[in-house]
Structure 1
Amino acid sequence: MGPHPAVADVRRAVRHALGDLEPGELVLAACSGGADSLALAAALGFAAPRAGLRAGLLTVDHGLQAGSGERAADVVRLAPGLGLDLAEALAVSVGTSGGPEAAARAARYTALSQAAERLGAAVVLLGHTRDDQAETVLLRLARGSGTRSLAGMPARTGIYRRPLLGLGRATTVAACAALGLSPWDDPHNLDARYARVRVRERLLPALEDELGPGVAEALARTADLCRDDADALDAWAAEVYARVAVRDCALSDIGPVTMAVRDLEHLPAAVRRRVLRRAAIDAGAPPGTLAASHVLQVDRLVTQWRGQRRIEVPGGVGAIRRYDTLILARQSVSPVS
């Protein structure tokens, strides 16, 4: 008799995510002890040796709750029984920038990336499921996000891979039960102060009640479609940028960027704004703080020119239109009327 269907589904997803790795490479699972990441770690322990891979587990102790260190140690102790040869608990200090959720996420990814580099890992697996993807899409939709943001979490980003995006949370819960594993339920996952918890516990169930089942699947499918569109638009914008932008990087990797307005004004807005965003970043604007509103103001220098003054964007970068040339630079550029 084969494994429980849920166990088989998780193992299949993990095996597929590891298919391009070379024998002997190290794969790590980020495991909080919750159902999603615990099912992921168990599937990695099963699939990795059969693919000739080394496998391990990382758990992050955020230090935000009493006894967090002991729980992290408990997760580490699970590793041998899951078929994982390596396990570490990573203690982090969570700051305040961006709010508690964003600060914890930033600390977690920093710790995971540093540990992966130190251990020589080729890949770190994350346990995000289809339900997490649906929550992400709803949260970003509420903020008025664009196509790239609505694409949600990608299956792969650098060393990180998310094998379970095609599976629902119910599958990981069932897999843990079938394997005799007891997931830990983080109290923060029920704390209504967090927007993601309200989406999970209130909004998604309400949508299912009013619209019928399948909302999470539909939202995840929307993310896939948005990602395809965003990839195509990004590729188009990259080609345009390479053709029209003139960069002066004589002293560093960043420097003034100039573009002829005639090369921009007839582009579709979605492509033109991607070109302008790339230009601002190349001129020195930090990607993480460069918002759509900043790009829209720069765009008006192209499409609604009325002699505007210099437009300021993050990083001390300014955009100005001089005659029929758009200039983005850190240094001050005076308009010529």
Structure 2
Amino acid sequence: MEMSFRWYGDDDPVTLDYIKQIPGMKGIVSAIYDIPAGEVWPYEKIIELKHKVETKGLVLNVIESVPVHEDIKLGRENRMKWIENYKQTLRNLAKANIRTVCYNFMPVFDWTRSALDAPLEDGSHSLLYDEEKIKDLDPLSGELDLPGWDLSYQTEDLRKVMKEYQSITEADLMDHLIFFLKEIIPVAEEEDVLMAIHPDDPPWSIFGLPRVIINEENVVRMLKEVDSIHNGLTFCTGSYGANPDNDLLSMIEAAKGRIHFVHARNIKVTGTKSFQETSHLTRDGSVNMVNVMQKLQETGFTGPIRPDHGRMIWGEEGRPGYGLYDRALGAAYLNGILDTLTTEKEG
């Protein structure tokens, strides 16, 4: 597996110079953050990003992510305009020799939490999702601003989009995703780009919006409907693991050969549809990270993997979930598991 690390570009306080000091670190997961959703990513900007990474002795191995325009998710009549732009972005990424693209199909909001600095018993703090608090939260109020959220909407535009989604069912949203995939996967095949959809986080409806990449049944349907190795998954242990009904090992087996990227994250389920993020250690959370890593290895996964969402420890402050120290510890822990599994296999 290719140990990798998320980097948010020049404004990220976690620099490439710091990241490359993490033992076993090979890849950088990044994106171009100043291009509006739906617009074509210029080849020149992709090459500029790649050059910044490579000059530090690292490899830009995953783009996370190329956002999908809301008109595509809603199935609006003008969606083909944005789909054609998406195809061109894939061609430009392939021209730069970038072969893995992570994306999601979550309506309006990306990953969602109710608190960004909830305390843990050890004195650190982390991201928390409390269903009761989310129920009382108005997403239009501006109370919550999370990394990855597209805040380019004006309030009135956002209200219109939210209202439009009230008539979109989960079945509709899945149909819109399949339509999108049937359009872009032939281009991904031509350009040898692996598309890796990230699960909805959390894996259930929020703010009355439909969500579909939430469980094994839906994932298997998506993979079968567009049956190409280039149509695959970002397997996020924390997203899927937030729902105890999801059997992660069964899901890995069901998606064998179609997992192209892994987010390794541990969470502690604290109640019905509620959880808090923990260290990566199996003993600290509800995800058995050792079993997950073993299953990934057994099913032949050798692609990029990154420690996902860290606690804030040792007084560090910064982008919620994306500090240096705990993610570095997570990478070391994952490498330790991999070393042990490899030694046992070879022995």
Q: TM-score, normalised by structure 1?
A: 0.31
Q: With CA pairs under 8 Å and 6+ residues apart, which has the higher RCO, 1 or 2?
A: 2
More helix by share: 1
Q: TM-score, normalised by structure 2?
A: 0.30
